[in-house]
Structure 1
Amino acid sequence: MKIGIEGQRLFRREKHGMDIYVLEVIKAIQQLDKTNEYVVFVKDDEDRNCLSETDNVKIVTVPGGNYALWEQVNLPRAAKQHGVDLLHCTSNTAPLFASTPTVVTIHDLIYMEKTAGDKTATMYQRVGNEYRRWIVPQVAKRCRRVLADSEYTRQDILKLFHLPETQVRVSYLGVSPKLAQSLKIERLPAIRQRYNLPERYFFYLGSQDPRKNMRTVLNAFGKFAQTTQGVDLVVSGKPPIFWNELLQQSGNEQLADRCRFIGFVEAEDLSGLYAQAEVYLYPSLSEGFGLPILEAMSCGVPVITSTTTSMPEVGGDVAVLVDPYKPDEITQAMMTLYNDPALRQQKVAQGLRRVEQFSWQRTAREVLATYQEVYASLS
């Protein structure tokens, strides 16, 4: 069997969840499958060294254009030219009129919800969401199989698109052991100096995507900072567009002094930032999976996350679950974990055991089984 895998954004430097997914699945497939042939279709970008070819895995750079043009025109053309038997599109969307049988991974359906008054989304995010709202319902029905990151997402897909139960499969994401392995004690002082980290801090992987709930996280920490000294908040990325507005709100007087935005975090430094934190904050409004929950646990950090969507499924009874719409609950969870070192250590030990249930090898085996099933149905 000759399998095409779409990795349009695989080579971009600042990788997000879907990019990590396709990279880790391909790497695991390279270890597991020495029989089938693979063609990975990418768009040229900075990080060309993140993936290497092997005997049965070839990387093909497909010419550019915007996201939709690349996916709807250039990708199916390249798949046909290279004679793949099956095409796996890995990032929610897929070509509408591909002649090649297709499998799609739908990570979430968050973009299907039009949030009224969503003023913090960028133009890029709004245009992307409109594209997905138009494409995803159609490709979900046309693809031979749909892979979902969680049972929550699977049920969402079945309910919204009215697909047969057998068409949608759950394939959990994994956490790479290399993340924890990259955690070298001797590198921690350099990471601390590079990002100017405070002595003690909570860590939040910042994003201005409204569903990441940054405004509520910052407000919750502002309340925490009123009564508790000795720990700051470290946020990746830049200050949000509403930062000055937040600082003017009553109760956030200490936020400017106690919150540090550290810009882009290099992938090799992420484990060090997790590991040196007191707590990792992930009270997102909605997730298809929630990979950072497992990443933080694998680096020995307790996690605060949400009671909503897939996050209880991923965090289990190990994460501290809060209502992400209630800043007071997030503040209280911060206080509980910060003031109880024994509880933090208990959560760390439980988290290290939990991540053993999630591996990219397992994900890749489930993906391979789906390829085999679809290919067998074609004959």
Structure 2
Amino acid sequence: MNIGLLLDPYGEKSPGGLGRAIFEMARALQAADSKNTYIVYTKKTMGVTSLFLQGARKMDRNLDLYIFFNPIVPLFLFPKRAIMVVHDFAYLELPGRSLLQKINRAALYCAHALSLRKATKIIAVSHTAKESTIRHFGTNPDKINVVYNGFISLDGAPEPMPAPDNFFLFAGVLKERKNVAGIIRAFALFAKTNSSHELLIVGKQGGVYADSLATLARELGVESRIRFLGYVSDGQLAYLYNKAQALVFVSFIEGFGMPVLEAMHAGLPVITSNSGALAEVAGDAALLADPAVPQTIASAMSRIASDASLCAALKEKGLRRAKQFSWDENARQFIEVMSAL
């Protein structure tokens, strides 16, 4: 078959977590499948700013199958067969704060609804993502297969960087749904009875929410113990994973939660959310906390800071858990879905 791969929103310039996951998924699929021919499309290679509005006129309309790694089919493209990959629909879980935001979200919902109806098959990266698709769009459950992501292994040489002796780590995009403010509030509670730890926050800075985090740290009196590191390289992140006491990743909403597995693979204990995809991916290999209740996150921090045997057990469980997820297995299951069409 001739198969088109649409890698939106993967971009060549420092892609974020979702973009990198999409790239790894497409790379593994092509490496595992020698029977089919793949044609890769990105916004850059097509010279477009919007795949939805402009993609149809730039694509071969006669391919046997299209795989959309973001579930939006270009307008006026009517594929004979199409697979949509669903990650999450976070914008439907969080309220819009402005009229423009609400209009944009309504337009995105319409694009997703139309695209999902065109799909021959839908691949969800977790059972949480599958349930979200059914709940928001009324999709037939039989149309959706769950195929877990792998994770991006940071196996290169760690790049040393300044870091304190004892610290908790957050790594991810500084957005409201990542609950970074909740982590800061939890750390402030933890810091009342612990003076030896700091909190390092890794993630691209800028934007109203990101800017508000430093203000929150000042208001809570912990600004001297929280470091906003901004973007770091993979080597630097690997170094921080090796040095940290635990990763704290307690998002309100995730479709998968790759940092959890990255940290586990590095032997780092994890504190994560007690519901949704994060709890699904972590299994019994992490401490779980309620993302809406900072005290539960603070309690988990205290347990990590005071119990070396717990940390050792979490490290062992995490290493085993991470081995259950791989891009090779993702590709194998993906090919099974394609072969059954």
Length-normalised TM-score, structure 1: 0.82
Aligned to 2:35: 35
Selected match of 2:53 from 57, 72, 87: 72
Q: Which is further off, 304-313 or 97-106?
A: 97-106
Q: Secondary structure at the match of 2:285?
A: coil
Letter in 2 for 1:168: I
Q: 1:244 to 1:347 in 2, by over 3 A?
A: closer
Which residue of 95, 103, 106 maps to 2:83?
A: 103
Question: Which of 60, 66, 72 is residue 87 of structure 1 equivalent to?
Answer: 66
* Partner residue in 2 for 1:223: 189
CA contact (8 A) 1:141 1:161 kept: no
Q: TM-score, normalised by structure 2?
A: 0.91
Amino acid aligned to 1:303: V
Q: Distance in 2 between matches of 1:365 and 1:226?
A: 49
Provide the alpha-carbon RMSD of the alignment: 2.1
Q: Specify the code of the residue in structure 2 equivalent to 1:359.
A: S
Give the equivalent residue in structure 2 for 1:22.
22
Amino acid in the other structure paired with 1:12: E
Confirm or deny: 8 A CA contact 1:10 1:42 kept in the other structure.
yes
State the Cα distance separating 1:22 from its structure 2 match. Answer: 1.8
Note the C-alpha offset of 1:128: 6.0
1:191 to 151, 157, 160: 160
What whole-Å deviation, never above 9, does each CA across 1:14-42 have from its counterpart, x for those lacking one?
32232122211122123211121001102
Deviation at 1:350, TM superposition (A): 0.6
Unaligned runs of 5+ in 2: none
Conserved? CA contact 1:175–1:295, under 8 Å: yes
- Cross-structure match for 1:343: 310
Q: After alignment, is 141-150 or 11-20 more displaced?
A: 11-20
Please list every run of 5 or more consecutive structure 1 residues that lacks an aligned counterpart in the other structure. 45-60, 375-379
What is the DSSP-based 3-state SS (H/G/I as helix, E as strand, rest coil) of the residue aligned with 1:88?
A: strand
Question: Residue 17 and residue 126 in structure 1: after superposition, are their counterparts in 2 closer, same or farther (change >3 A)?
Answer: farther
Which letter maps to 2:137?
A: F
Question: Where does residue 48 of structure 1 map in the other structure?
Answer: none
The correspondence for 1:112, drawn from 84, 92, 98, is 92
Task: Please give the alpha-carbon distance, in whole angstroms, between the structure 2 residues aligned to 1:303 and 1:94.
Answer: 36
Alpha-carbon separation, structure 1, partners of 2:94 and 2:196: 40
Alpha-carbon distance change, 8 to 108 in structure 1, aligned in 2, over 3 angstroms: closer
2:169 equivalent among 196, 203, 217: 203
1:286 and 1:308 in contact (8 A); partners too: no
Give aligned pairs, total: 335
- Residues 152-190 of structure 1 show CA distances to partners (whole Å, capped at 9, x for unaligned) of 2212212332222221110101124x42x32x3xx4xx4
Per the alignment, residue 4 of structure 1 pairs with 4
Residue 62 of structure 1 corresponds to: 46
Q: CA deviation at 1:86?
A: 1.1
1:243–1:26 CA distance, 2 compared to 1 (3 A): closer
State the AA in 2 paired with 1:134: C
Quick one: which amino acid aligns to residue 306 of structure 1?
A: S
CA apart distance, 1:127: 7.2
Measured against aligned partners, the alpha-carbon deviations of 1:244-296 in whole angstroms (never above 9, x if no partner) come to 541453xx21x111001111122343222222111000010011111111111
Rate the CA distance shift 1:360–1:146 in 2: closer, same or farther, 3 A: same
Asked if the contact 1:287–1:311 (Cα under 8 Å) also holds between the matched residues in 2, the reply is yes
CA change 1:354–1:155 in 2 (3 A) is same
What is the alpha-carbon distance in structure 2 between the residues aligned to residue 136 and residue 86 of structure 1?
19
Greater shift, 323-332 or 220-229, is seen at 220-229
Percent identical: 28
For residues 18 and 246 of structure 1, what CA distance do their matches in structure 2 show?
Answer: 27
1:214 to 161, 164, 180: 180
Q: Secondary structure at the match of 1:12?
A: coil
The code of the aligned residue for 2:171 comes to L
Amino acid at match of 1:169: N
Contact 1:92 1:108 in 2 (8 A): no
Deviates more, 1:352-361 or 1:26-35: 26-35
Q: Give distance in 2, aligned partners of 1:126 and 1:215.
A: 23
CA distance in 2, matches of 1:131, 1:268: 39
Q: 1:17 to 1:244 in 2, by over 3 A?
A: closer
* Aligned counterparts of 2:325 and 2:200: Cα–Cα separation in 1: 27
